[in-house]
Structure 1
Amino acid sequence: MKSKTRMMSILAIALVLVVALSAVFVGCGKTEKVKITGSTSVAPLMKVLAAAYEKENKNVRIEVGEGGSSQGIKDTQDGKNDIGMASRDLKKDSVTGEYTETGLDKIQIAYDGVAVIINKEASIEGNNVTNEQLYALYAYGTPIGGISLPVSREDGSGTREAFDEKITDAEGNKLIDLTKFTSGIQIANGTNIVMTDVAGNVAKLGYISMGSLNDTVKAVKYNGVEPTVENVKNGTYKLARPFLIVTKSGAELSQAAKDFIDFILSEAGQKIVAEEGYVAM
């Protein structure tokens, strides 16, 4: 009887150990997810960073969505993502200078130029556009040589806000303060759509993230300066803006999200930023 009781005890202990070990192994194989949404300009860089991180961290999946800078910021405020992406600074009150997009912690991960692009077959005198020319094209439809159809981004785009903030007429009036643009303006919901539209029409001009440039379109000088990483870095190319990630203030980030942010800011992460054509921190 004692032998039988001892055997039952051993079996019970063994069963407990099997269950415990199974839980450990299941836990080890569990995939951790990090959800990121926001800027269509930051997204291509973020996807490359995510792929590099996942390669070394097999149990983590970084989900990179888009929707625009304002959407990414709102998603973060509403707790709908772990990390938001923005290709502009957070909005401030024009009088007080205080942030109006609140409840957020921001981290700059790169700096990027906004490239003005035209069709590869189009030409502009000196391959150059000025502030005043761009303002007149977008505000009134005033052609720049054979360019007469401006392409802009949708409301909520960080790239649009950066562009509209920088482009002024001779009196210093900004595009961002206009309530009405030329009737000929075309709105494109994303970087790739801008490039496709411009690549398909010699009369169109648009603007995109410098890091997204490819050989389907042609970048032109802005106020006489080439859109290059070096010129953004040395400050001579003025049509530039920060790339930010934002998290919700006071929220407890998962360890995977924290580690991914650390990776982005690390030497390895910033090397990828530079390799992808952006200005590293």
Structure 2
Amino acid sequence: MKKKTIILIVIIVTSIVSIFIWSLAMPSRLVYFGGSSSVNPFMQIATKKFGEEYKHSDEIIYNSNGSQNGVKSVENGTYSAGMISKEVKQNTLSSGSDFSNIQGFDNEFEDTKTFNDFRNEVNKTKGINAMEFAIDAIVIMYNPPKWFIENPEIANSINFDFNKDDHKKIVKKIYSNPNYMWADFVKELNPEIKDFNHGNELLMPVSRESGSGTRSAFDDFFEIEDIDSGTANSNGSMITQLRDTKGSFGYVSYGFYKNSENNNLQTPWFNNKRLSKDEFIEVLNDDGTIQPGESKNEEHIKSDAGYELKRPFIMLFDSENKKTNSVLEFVEFLITEKANSAYEEEGLVRKVQYHKYDLIPND
């Protein structure tokens, strides 16, 4: 009996040791990404679709814990890719970490052939790569009073120039002053207008919920700190509230604006240009007439000299991380049509472009 017990124990121990050795020998099929909470909704959709299309590849796990954690975790090797939702700068990385500087890939990746050439170069280099993969453009929308709608000259006078600091302060005032009126809004943007005597309707701002990436980007752009406004828990909810509430003022991601129904909501001009629901932007002429512009909406959003109310989504990954090929496979997926629905569902503009060291600003 004692001998049988010893044999049984030996068998059990041998089995446990064998399983342990096997688990060490088997390569892990999990790859960890993390960072910006703003990127999280897109990543949940995109990684799921990636898994459906690339069944042979590693499973991506995304941890939403902030852009700075994403950066640090790439530097220390905890994450194979870290996401940030702001412009990348030299001081994005800690002292001792450097961006890669691969030459010959200055344009947006639009096909997998060019990207595969880039992939080969990544495997030969060192450093942390910065890969932009989307732009989140934000569109201001509002449901103005009747007198505003019926007067095209007034409607078209809402023409922001964000090179003027006071224009940003006007939007900040909208979200912090509960007594701000539509007449105040028109007069502050157009101080040259005299004897303006239109109603006393309150301007009712609506913001996104706390924790929303869209809200974070909007508040950062306009330096809004103290908010006194209504709240919408999604882009769709925002559009519904604006549509149903006369005098309301809010904002949505570009894709939701473009796909929303025409429901009397208006949008402002930015330096005589604005995004439209058609293919091309609209341009406001000096005589007040409106015509299609030469640029398509998405071209205008992507251009550095174009649409201003936007932010990039950027992926950081170390060339020497053992899971870098899995990261590159995911980026390749983002370039293809298979990723279209992920961009569309989140209202993002696709832009997959490498940022090399030479072109990354110092601050």
- Is 1:46 matched with 2:43? yes
Equivalent residues in 2 for 1:163-182, closer than 5 Å = 163-164=218-219, 166=221, 175-176=222-223, 180-182=225-227
Select 1:37's aligned residue among 28, 34, 37. 34
The 1:81–1:278 alpha-carbon spacing in structure 2 relative to 1, beyond 3 Å, is same
The CA distance in 2 between the partners of 1:41 and 1:216, in whole Å, is 25
The 1:116–1:87 alpha-carbon spacing in structure 2 relative to 1, beyond 3 Å, is farther
Shift of 1:108: 0.7
SS at match of 1:181: coil
1:99 maps to 91
Shift of 1:165: 5.4
Select 1:86's aligned residue among 72, 80, 84. 84
The CA distance in 2 between the partners of 1:216 and 1:80, in whole Å, is 44
Aligned amino acid, residue 350 of structure 2 = A
Q: Is the 8 A contact 2:35 2:82 kept in 1?
A: yes
Q: Is the 8 A contact 1:83 1:247 kept in 2?
A: yes
2:336 maps to 267
Aligned amino acid, residue 238 of structure 1 = E
Aligned amino acid, residue 226 of structure 2 = F
Structure 2 length as normaliser, TM-score? 0.48
Q: Is the 8 A contact 2:203 2:248 kept in 1?
A: yes
Q: Is the 8 A contact 1:38 1:71 kept in 2?
A: yes
Aligned amino acid, residue 205 of structure 2 = L
2:172 maps to 135
Shift of 1:136: 2.6
2:10 maps to none
1:226 maps to 275
Alignment length, in residue pairs?
232
SS at match of 1:107: strand
SS at match of 1:238: coil
Q: Is the 8 A contact 1:220 1:226 kept in 2?
A: no
1:253 maps to 323
Equivalent residues in 2 for 1:146-157, closer than 5 Å = 146-151=202-207
2:292 maps to none
SS at match of 2:274: coil
The CA distance in 2 between the partners of 1:233 and 1:217, in whole Å, is 23
2:357 maps to none
Identical pairs, percent: 22
SS at match of 1:81: coil
The CA distance in 1 between the partners of 2:205 and 2:130, in whole Å, is 36
Q: Is the 8 A contact 2:236 2:256 kept in 1?
A: no
SS at match of 1:64: strand
The CA distance in 2 between the partners of 1:88 and 1:217, in whole Å, is 31
Select 2:59's aligned residue among 58, 61, 64. 61
SS at match of 1:221: coil
The 1:232–1:259 alpha-carbon spacing in structure 2 relative to 1, beyond 3 Å, is closer
The 1:151–1:160 alpha-carbon spacing in structure 2 relative to 1, beyond 3 Å, is closer
The CA distance in 1 between the partners of 2:336 and 2:43, in whole Å, is 16
Q: Is the 8 A contact 2:135 2:348 kept in 1?
A: yes
232-241 vs 66-75, greater mean Cα deviation: 66-75
The 1:204–1:257 alpha-carbon spacing in structure 2 relative to 1, beyond 3 Å, is same
Give the gaps of 5 or more residues in structure 1: 1-18, 93-97, 167-174
The 1:62–1:140 alpha-carbon spacing in structure 2 relative to 1, beyond 3 Å, is same
Coordinate RMSD, CA, aligned: 4.4
Aligned amino acid, residue 32 of structure 2 = K
Shift of 1:209: 2.9
The 1:275–1:87 alpha-carbon spacing in structure 2 relative to 1, beyond 3 Å, is same
